[in-house]
Structure 1
Amino acid sequence: MDRWRELEDDASRATIILQKLTSRKEELRESLPRGTEPMPRSELHFCNGLAFTFVRKLGVGLSFEAGHGFVIRKIYTGEQNGRPTWTWSAPLFLTVTAAGLGLTVGYTEIESIIVLDTPEAVQAFTKSQWAVDTDITGAAGGAVGAHLPATAANMSNMKLSDKTFTYSITKGAILDVSLTGLNYATDPAMNKSFYGNRGVTPQSVLDGAVEPPEPMRELYAALDKVLNEYYATVDSQVAMETQVERARDEGAGTSAAGAAEGAAAAAAAAAAPGGKGGSEEPAGAAEDAEISPAAGEKAAGVGDAGGTAEPHED
C-alpha cells in the first residue's frame, strides 16, 4: 500500500473514531463496544493538540504492541463574533512499539484519541518517548481508558502525560497483567514522503510551517464541525440563562413596583376624609383641602398617617 493511500485510510479511521466518541446519536453510541466511554466535546475546546493512534497488541505470556499514528496541533488564530478561531497543523507521523513481560493472553486492536491539554504535551511528540510501567488491561470487546492518564498503549509515566488523556475503542479480547516498555517516536520515512528533505523538522510541522496533505481535510472538517456544535450549545445555554435571569429581574421589579403603588394608595386612602385610620373633618375644611396646595402634596403621596410615601420611579 502506498503512503498516500495509507494516510487516506488513517484519516478516515480517525474521523470515524472522532464521530463515534463525540456523537449524541443513539445509533452511533450503540455501535460502540461495550464499556466505551464517550469523549466530551469540550475536550476539543481545551486541548492544544490531538494524537490518533492505531495499535495492535498480542500476548501469549509475553506481550507485543505495534502501531502507528499521527499528532496534530490546534493553532489559535484569534477571535471572531465572540468565538475563538483556529487552524490545524499538518500531521506529524509516529510509530508505536512496546513489549511486556507478565501474564498476557489474547489479541486486541486499540484505536485511540489522545487529548493533549498543554503545549508541552504536544511538543513532547517531537522527540522519542520511552516509558516502563505496569499495564493492567482486561478487554473483551470493551474499551481501554476514559479520560485517564493515557493507557491506550500505557503512557502513564511518560513526560507528556500530566495533562494527557485517552479515549479508546478496542476490538478483540485480551487479559494483560504485565510490565510494559513503550516507545513513541516520529516516523522519518512517512514524514519524508510527505514533506521531503527541505529542512522540515518535527517542530516546524506542528508549528504550521507546512501545508497539510489533502487526505487530512476530512478529519479537519469533522473536528471543526464538532467544535462549532459545542460552541453553539454553549451559546444556547448562555442565552437561556440570560433570559431566565432577565425574567427573574423583571419579575422582582414588577413586584417592587406593585408594592410601592400599593403603599402609596394606602397612604392616600388613609389621608382622605373619612378614610380608614383618619379622622373626619368639617365640610369646610374638606372644601379648603380641594384647592389647597397641601392637597396636591397628598395626591403626590404625602399622607397624614404612616409618614411620607415615596413616589415609585419606573
Structure 2
Amino acid sequence: MERVNSTLLTEFILTGIPYPIRLRMFLFVFFLLIYILTQLGNLLILITVWVDPQLHARPMYIFLGVLSIIDMGISSIIVPRLMMNFTVGIKPIPFGGCVAQLYFYHFLGSTQCFLYTLMAYDRYLAICRPLHYPVLMTPKLSTLLVVGAWMAGSIHGALQAILTFRLPYCGPNQVDYFFCDIPAVLRLACADTKVNELVTFVDIGLVVASCFSLIILSYRQIIQAILRIHTADGRRRAFSTCGAHITVVTVYYVPCAFIYLRPGTNSPLGGAAALFPTAITPFLNPLIYTLRNQEVKFALKRMIRGPETKSKV
C-alpha cells in the first residue's frame, strides 16, 4: 500500500460514453456539428443583442447575452474532449487539465443556475410590476447582479475543485465518464470520500434547490398575473417572453438533479443525462430563444435587412 500511495497520478484517461464501433465516425461528425452550431448560434444571439439598440439596453437581453457566453464556454470545455473519444488511440488528460475542466464546468454551470434565477426575477418584475420595472431593474442593477452571479459561480467552482483534488489519487487512473466531473473522479481517490460526497450533495443540492425554488415562486406569480390580462394578444405576448425561459430551465435542471442529487450511484443513465447540460442545452438555447421569442426574431430580421436598407438609401 505504501508503494502505491508513493506514486500519485499525473494524468487521467477518460473512457467516454459507450458506443458501437461502427458508429464512431457518425458520432464524431454529429458532435462536431453540435459544437459548431452551438458556437455559431450563441454567437449570433450575442451579436444580435449587442448590435440591436432595442435589445442591448434591456436587462432581459443582457442576461440572454451572458447566457450565450456561458453556453459557448461550457460547450468548449466539454464537447471537444468528448469528440476525442471517437478517435483512434488513448488520449489521456493531464492532472492539471482535469482540475481545470472540473473547475470551469462547475464555475460556468453554477453561474448559469444563478443567471436563470435572475432571468425569472426579471420576468417577474416586468409582468407583475410593470410600472415599477424601470426603477427596480436598472441597467446598473442588472450589471451588478450579473457580476454577482459570476463571482458566486467562481467561488462554487473553486470550492468543488479544491475539495475534490485535495484527496490523493494514486491509481487506477481510468475515469468512467466523458469528462472530469466530481462523482466519477471521486471514485478513483485513495482516501475516504464520504465527506466529499456529503459536501457535494449539500452544496450542489442547495444551489439547485434554492435557484429552482425561486424560479418556481417567480413563475407562480407570473402565471397568476398573466391570467389576469384581459386581452388574448397580451396573454400571448407575455407567455412568449416566458416560454423560452421555462423550456431551457426544465431542460437544464432535470438532468442536473438526476446526476448530482443521487449520491453513491453509478448508472449509465448518468452519462446520458450529463450530455444535456454539457452539449445539448447549449445547442438548444439559441434555437429556443429565436423560435419562441418574437423580439429576438424581429431583431434578427432587422440585423439581416439592415445592409439592404442602407444600400437602397
Where on the TM-score scale, by shorter chain, does this alignment land: which range? under 0.3
Could you state the TM-score of these two structures normalised by the residue count of structure 1? Answer: 0.23
* Higher percent of residues as strand: 1
* Greater relative CO, 1 or 2 (CA 8 Å, sep 6+): 2
TM-score scaled to structure 2, two decimals?
A: 0.23
**Of the two, which has the highest radius of gyration?**
1
